[in-house]
Amino acid sequence: MPVVSTPSGPPAAAQEPFEHVAHGARRPDPYHWMRRLDAPVLAHLRAERDWYDVATGHLGPLVQELRAEMTGRVPATDSSVSWPQHGYSYYTVLPAGREYVQLLRRRHGGEPELLLDVNDLAAGDDDYVDLGAWGVSPDARVLAYAVDFEGDEYYELRFRDLATGTDLPDVLARSAPAGTWSADSSTYFYVVHDDRWRQHQVWRHRLGTPRAEDVLVVEDTDEQFEVDVTTSRTGDLVLIRSENRDTSEVWAIDAHDPVSPARSVGGRRRGVEYRAEHVRHPDGSDELLLVTDDDATEFRLARCPVPRGGDQDSSAWEPLRPEDPAERLERADAYAGHVVLTSRVGGRNQLRILPLDDLTGDGVVVLPVSEIASLVAPEDKNVEHDVDRIIVVDESYLLPPVWSEVSLVTGERTELLRKEAPGFDPAAYAGEKRSFASVGGTLVPATILRHVDTPLDGSAPCVMYAYGAYESVYPDQEWDPAIPSLLDRGVVYVHAHVRGGGEGGRRWWLDGRMEHKQHTFDDHVAVADGLASAGLVDGSRIATRGLSAGGLLQGAVFSQRPDRWRAVVAEVPFVDVLTTMLDPTIPLTVNEWDEWGDPSRPEDYAWMARYSPYDNLPPAGIRPDLLVTGAVHDARVMVWEPAKWAAALRESDPEWAPRCLFRVETGAGAHVGPSGRFAHLAYEAEIYAWLLDRLGVSGAG
């Protein structure tokens, strides 16, 4: 275990050895596995939080003002669109004044039936609760649901009898938030973590039997891979997928015979990814569609038989649609008579609807409603196979979600539900995309948001955001009820779509990972410099924010260009890159080597050492204000990373040290902050109040 070493001040934290928790056992104490921190370290972290509270106490009135504005844009009662499954329509409701959703269903014309109220799982209003995967059995009698009470992604899997509304004795502790049913509703397939929080096994549980009788179905012993499990949309196959950053393997199980063996769909070849979707043809035959990057950087579509006689390799694959270098193919979803391809073109996602008998044609393309909007066909909202319409959702930073039905024949949209946003007037805001030249001339796109009364003439302050890792588009132009509070105060909000993310497809990711990681940081600085040099925003008042891998980005640009920023917010930042990636005993190290590099290899060590924020502190005397966050129960970025980074920064620049704050969650709290819709907005109000104060912006919006 690493030791938290602080250059001065608080005592160092010695980590107690991880106490192995056997499969199925309960964790022994609140500070389990890696985070059983000793008393002095916990006292230090609590003192950090106390200092943060004192240092930001003057912002209390602004925090309350912002919180009231943000929660005011959330409807008192918020309902989702309903979706069909097993003869019912399912939907969620956020009741007035409550933090968490209720799950409900109804038959056509019938009364609503409450399946689960997540609020009842929390002992108090401030308690942390996260509902993971949930699903109703095909016979519609039992609800399986996973719940986390700490924020550490340590889920407990439960089963509820929907006739009585009571939970069954079957309780599967130490589960991942993933699972799926067999076709006969007798068996549940679920995933568990190993000691380093890697999802490494899929187990089979027969309802009503002791967990000791559960059967291991698939175990991936390669520490770079994680497994997941789902059911095909047809309901005929259980699909298990194991993957690392650039390689995957899929197994299929007959969902009607849950004890049958898992058969490999195409084996495993280093550097080849694939996903499988089951297709049922009108004549009763079936096959699998594969989305793969086998000899296709931006992925292509292939087909193969369902493996029933034994494992098969990629020699069974037949090409269907070749790679289009300008279109990143992400997913294929099969329905009765049609296949829907999800892809990304020019930074925007789109759907392509193809007749099942013409999978090589152009089909019908469905685009987002605007240049800055996203369009998603939610997987859990389209669970039925025999349909001629699917549900999609359009949204953007300036557009609350709008759910529509899309005809699989014509592509025509029919609006179903528009999320309410009380007091929000879309016409009061403007959004656009611009590009800025980075190192080597690469054009980096950025989404720019502002109030219509805020000119882009160099007078307005700016808050930037970026992520830039894992080929992730995070967030993908999602509605956020907090951002208008910045825009209303004359702040320009900019999301920089830097390399390492997925906005520009697979190549955009490849050019921002491993030895190319510096491009991510160059791109973010280039957007900031471009905004200033073009006279769009006030170059002396640019703040920047990012979380996790985005927190690493903030740490890097904080060190490399401290003169560029008025303020930096690094949330749960991955900043001690070398120490973490050199220690294979902690969570999310071995299976991250293909994203960041393995520093045990000299060439990888060299490029990681050049940017690791903890190992590259900025010069003293020119640093911007810094707000760092962390959480004791964070299972993704260990709390010692932000803690020791903040300590090292303070020790290396004592005069600046009071301008470095560390907001740490010492109780229940997750990687992405507090749970609950209002609790999370309260957190956002804190962050934005600090940013507004640092930017010199005051007054009501």
What is the DSSP track for 468-486? --TT--SS-S---TTHHHH
pLDDT at 588: 73
First and final C-alpha spacing in the chain: 48
pLDDT at 379 over 80: no
Mean pLDDT over 581-599 rounds to 88
pLDDT at 88: 93
Cα(251)–Cα(511) distance, rounded to whole angstroms?
Answer: 31
Instruction: Give the burial class of 146: count Cβ atoms within 10 A of its Cβ; 0-12 exposed, 13-18 middle, 19 or more buried.
Output: buried
SS3 (DSSP) at 701? coil
Query: Which residues have CB under 8 Å from 92's CB, separation 6+?
Result: 79, 80, 101, 102, 103, 104
The answer to pTM > 0.85 is yes
Cα(160)–Cα(300) distance, rounded to whole angstroms?
Answer: 41
pLDDT at 372: 87
pLDDT at 31: 36
Cα(216)–Cα(227) distance, rounded to whole angstroms?
Answer: 13
389, 412 Cβ separation under 8 angstroms: no
Residue labelled with tokens 């939907």: 91
pLDDT at 587 over 80: no
Measured CA to CA in angstroms, residue 462 lies from 239, 456, 491, 696 at distances of 46, 10, 5, 11
pLDDT at 674 over 80: no
What digits encode the pLDDT tens for the residues 287-299? 999 999 999 999 9
508, 472 Cβ separation under 8 angstroms: no
Instruction: Give the burial class of 185: count Cβ atoms within 10 A of its Cβ; 0-12 exposed, 13-18 middle, 19 or more buried.
Output: middle
499, 512 Cβ separation under 8 angstroms: yes
- Phi/psi class of residue 176: alpha, beta or left (left: φ > 0; alpha: ψ in -120 to 50)? beta
262, 218 Cβ separation under 8 angstroms: yes
Cα(191)–Cα(218) distance, rounded to whole angstroms?
Answer: 10
pLDDT at 124 over 90: no
pLDDT at 470: 94
- Phi/psi class of residue 280: alpha, beta or left (left: φ > 0; alpha: ψ in -120 to 50)? beta
Mean pLDDT over 80-107 rounds to 90
Closest CA to 112 of 122, 103, 125, 124: 103
Task: Please report, rounded to a whole number, the percentage of residues in the chain having pLDDT higher than 70.
Answer: 91
Mean pLDDT over 321-338 rounds to 96
* Residue 327 in tokens: 């279109």
Backbone angles phi, psi at 219, to 5 degrees: -130, 130
pLDDT at 675: 55
pLDDT at 586: 79
Which segment of 80-84, 339-343, 497-501 scores lowest on mean pLDDT? 80-84
Cα(252)–Cα(112) distance, rounded to whole angstroms?
Answer: 36
289, 303 Cβ separation under 8 angstroms: yes
Query: Which residues have CB under 8 Å from 347's CB, separation 6+?
Result: 433, 445, 497, 503, 504
Residue labelled with tokens 């990687």: 671
Backbone angles phi, psi at 189, to 5 degrees: -95, 130
- Helices 602-611 and 518-533 meet at what angle, rounded to 10? 30
- Helices 39-55 and 640-652 meet at what angle, rounded to 10? 60
What digits encode the pLDDT tens for the residues 231-263? 999 999 999 999 999 999 999 999 999 999 999
Backbone angles phi, psi at 410, to 5 degrees: -110, -20
Closest CA to 277 of 292, 297, 299: 292
Rounded to the nearest integer, the mean pLDDT of the chain is 89
pLDDT at 17: 24
Mean pLDDT over 581-607 rounds to 90
Cα(304)–Cα(317) distance, rounded to whole angstroms?
Answer: 5
Mean pLDDT over 609-631 rounds to 96
pLDDT at 326 over 80: yes
pLDDT at 29: 37
Query: Which residues have CB under 8 Å from 469's CB, separation 6+?
Result: 500, 501, 512, 513, 520, 549, 550, 552, 595
What digits encode the pLDDT tens for the residues 13-57? 222 222 223 333 333 333 343 445 678 888 889 999 999 999 999
Q: How many helices (H) and strands (E) does the chain have?
A: 11, 37
- The more confident residue out of 152 and 631 is 631
Cα(204)–Cα(190) distance, rounded to whole angstroms?
Answer: 7
Which segment of 197-201, 373-377, 523-527, 538-542 scores lowest on mean pLDDT? 373-377
SS3 (DSSP) at 115? strand
Residue labelled with tokens 């009470």: 149
pLDDT at 310: 95
Tell me the pLDDT band of 701, cut-offs 50, 70 and 90: low
What digits encode the pLDDT tens for the residues 387-399? 999 999 999 999 9
Mean pLDDT over 161-179 rounds to 92
Tell me the pLDDT band of 222, cut-offs 50, 70 and 90: very high
pLDDT at 389: 92
586, 34 Cβ separation under 8 angstroms: yes
Which residues have a catalytic role annotated? 548, 634, 671
Query: Which residues have CB under 8 Å from 120's CB, separation 6+?
Result: none
Mean pLDDT over 543-562 rounds to 97
611, 618 Cβ separation under 8 angstroms: no
pLDDT at 108: 83
pLDDT at 382 over 60: no
pLDDT at 177: 85
Count of beta carbons in the 10 Å neighbourhood of residue 439: 13
pLDDT at 677: 73
What is the DSSP track for 547-610? ETHHHHHHHHHHHH-GGG-SEEEEES----HHHHHT-TTSTTSGGGHHHH--TTSHHHHHHHHH
pLDDT at 197: 78
pLDDT at 661: 97
pLDDT at 21: 30
pLDDT at 668: 57
pLDDT at 584: 86
CA 497, chain centre distance (Å): 16
Question: Which amino acid, residue 643?
Answer: A
pLDDT at 213: 95
pLDDT at 10: 24
Cα(412)–Cα(386) distance, rounded to whole angstroms?
Answer: 18
Closest CA to 625 of 658, 647, 648: 658
Helix (H) or strand (E) holding 626: strand 625-631
SS3 (DSSP) at 161? strand
pLDDT at 19: 27
Cα(172)–Cα(169) distance, rounded to whole angstroms?
Answer: 10
- Helices 60-72 and 677-694 meet at what angle, rounded to 10? 130
Task: Please report, rounded to a whole number, the percentage of residues in the chain having pLDDT higher than 90.
Answer: 75
